[in-house]
Amino acid sequence: MPTEWKLFADLAERAGDKHVTVDAGAGDTVGAALTELVDDRPDLEGRVLTDDGELRSQINVLRNGTNVLVEEEGLETELEEGDELALFPPVSGG
C-alpha cells in the first residue's frame, strides 16, 4: 500500500508537485519514504538533507499531523496503513 507525501512552499516547487506517492508503506519507516521521495529529485534532496544525509534542522516531517521528530521516533518511526506524510520548511504565518 503506497503512502502519500504532501509538500509545501518551496519544497513543492523543488519537487515539481504538491503531492507525491511513494511505494513505502505499513512496516517501512518514515526515513524510507523520505529516501524514496528525494530519489531522482536532487534539488529537493539538497534542500532537506545535509551532505551526510541527515535531515536539515529547519525541515519539518509530520505523520498524520503529528511531528515525528518531536513526538515520535523521528525518521525511524514506522508507517501504518493509510498514513499521510507532510514535509515543510519553517512555518511563516501571520
Partner 1 sequence: MYVLGICDRGADRDAVKRAVDRTVDCLERRGRVGVVSYDATIADGQAIHESNVVGGDVSYELGADGDWAASGTGLNVANALDRLAVECEYAVVTGISDLRYPTVLIGDRASDHSDDDVLAAVDAPGDLDVDAVADALEETEPHRTLESLVARVKRSPNADRSGAIATFTGRVRAKDDPDDARTEYLEFEKYEGVADERMAALEADLEEREGVLEVELHHRTGVVRDGEDIVFVVVLAGHRTEAFRTVEDGINRLKDEVPLFKKEVTVDDEFWVHERT
* Choice between 27 and 67, CB closer to partner 1: 67
Helix, strand, coil shares of the chain, percent, nearest 5, are 30, 25, 45
Gap between the Cα atoms of 12 and 31, Å rounded: 18
Q: Which residues bind partner 1 (CB under 8 A)?
A: 6, 8-10, 58, 60, 62, 65, 86, 88-94
Q: Between residues 37 and 86, which has the closer beta carbon with respect to partner 1?
A: 86
Our CB check for partner 1 shows the closer of 32 and 85 to be: 85
Cell of 23: 511505494
Q: Name the residue nearer to partner 1 (CB basis): 10 or 54.
A: 10
**Other CB atoms within 10 Å distance of the CB of residue 89:** 16
Rounded distance, CA 79 to CA 31, Å? 10
